[in-house]
Amino acid sequence: MKTILGPALFLAQFVSDEAPFNSLDTIARWAAGLGYRGVQIPAWDARLIDLARLAASQTYADEVRGTLAQHGIAVTELSTHLQGQLVAVHPAYDAAFDSFCPPALRGQPQARQQWAVGQLMLAAQASRRLGLRAHATFSGALAWPFLYPWPQRPAGLVEMAFEELARRWRPILDAFDEAGVDVCFEIHPGEDLHDGASFERFLDALGGHARANILYDPSHLHLQQMDYLAFIDLYHERIKAVHIKDAEFRPNGRSGVYGGYGSWLERAGRFRSLGDGQIDFRAIFSKLAQYDFEGWAVLEWECALKDAAVGAREGARFIAEGIIEVTSRAFDDFAASGMDEGANRRLLGIG
């Protein structure tokens, strides 16, 4: 068995124009001071890295790793959540997602999609130069507006959506395969890959592509009222990245999973800082250890109530205390009989 790496922190929710959150060096120093050993870097934020330069230059990649290493920090994964979202956008969401791309491309869905694919291709090379094994992203969505089957969906609509999604992602996955890096799709409402069943549809459309994998975040499963522990049992071979994020679901007579268009504060299901929600992380860490998860335990901090700085500070300690240092021997080795094959055969009466 392998001990999970961590604690690590996804930087997307913390980057800003204010020190120490405005450069890779200073934010790494801040994270290390809280007890983090790794950071997941949003590849769209030029205050931290230059993605194109990182893809092209091993010298620059070594500089990035060196900057982090000065503070005892490693890169866990690069993230292209925003770019991945733009690989597939239903027209209903064109305006809402236009801010995810450069201003010159806004209002041009085809050019925006091509730019997003190019960004993923760069991320494959950048991940390789950094020596990473996994990459975090979103799948985007074509079928999401048809999630609820009313009006009745036309025959073949969902199948066509997933065939098209697979067609768009296949060359990207092939590029990551050449780079030796797994693509980890965060299973997330708003994406066509929002649960296990939809991930299976995608995987089938891809012919089981080896690089199509999962970023496991129990909060998104809990808010859908899924069994987030059984999910690990079902998909552990495809789980290659993990977000440690808490959530609570408190349905009432007025709203439930759909939320009634309420704000995050008002919804029955909402994200919480680690330890403040309902997720059974003791069981999650046990299952990840059981299935030899080799990656990092990365905090993605989101909370409707608590201050971010407090959540980051508490989260480092929470993860460090939750990670199971796996055993190198069986607990009952002291009683081992040391019998050989011959003795075993005699015990069984077979020779």
Burial of 339: CB neighbours in 10 Å, binned 0-12, 13-18, 19+: exposed
Tens of pLDDT, residue by residue over 103-129, are 999 999 999 999 999 999 999 999 999
Tens of pLDDT, residue by residue over 268-312, are 999 999 999 999 999 999 999 999 999 999 999 999 999 999 999
Rounded Cα distance, 220 and 195, in Å: 9
Question: What's the pLDDT score for residue 22?
Answer: 98
Confidence of residue 327 (pLDDT cuts 50, 70, 90): confident
Question: What's the pLDDT score for residue 244?
Answer: 98
Indicate the domain borders of the chain: 5-348
Question: What's the pLDDT score for residue 334?
Answer: 57
Tens of pLDDT, residue by residue over 136-168, are 999 999 999 999 999 999 999 999 999 999 999
Question: What's the pLDDT score for residue 328?
Answer: 74
C-alpha distances in Å from residue 225, one per residue of 139, 145, 250 = 21, 20, 11
Tens of pLDDT, residue by residue over 300-319, are 999 999 999 999 999 999 99
Q: 5-348 belongs to which homologous superfamily?
A: Divalent-metal-dependent TIM barrel enzymes (3.20.20.150)
Supply the mean pLDDT for the chain.
Answer: 96
Nearest in space to 216 (alpha carbons), one of 4, 2, 34: 4
Q: Which residues contact 75 (CB under 8 A, 6 or more apart)?
A: 38, 39, 40, 41, 64, 65, 68, 130, 132
Rounded Cα distance, 254 and 260, in Å: 8
Question: What's the pLDDT score for residue 311?
Answer: 98
C-alpha distances in Å from residue 83, one per residue of 25, 164, 252, 348 = 24, 17, 36, 61
Q: In the predicted model, what is the mean pLDDT of residues 314-328?
A: 94
Q: Dihedral of the CA atoms 71, 64, 44, 306 (nearest 10)?
A: 0
Q: For helices 228-235 and 281-290, give the axis angle rounded to 10 degrees.
A: 10
pLDDT at 333 over 70: no
Tens of pLDDT, residue by residue over 81-109, are 999 999 999 999 999 999 999 999 999 99
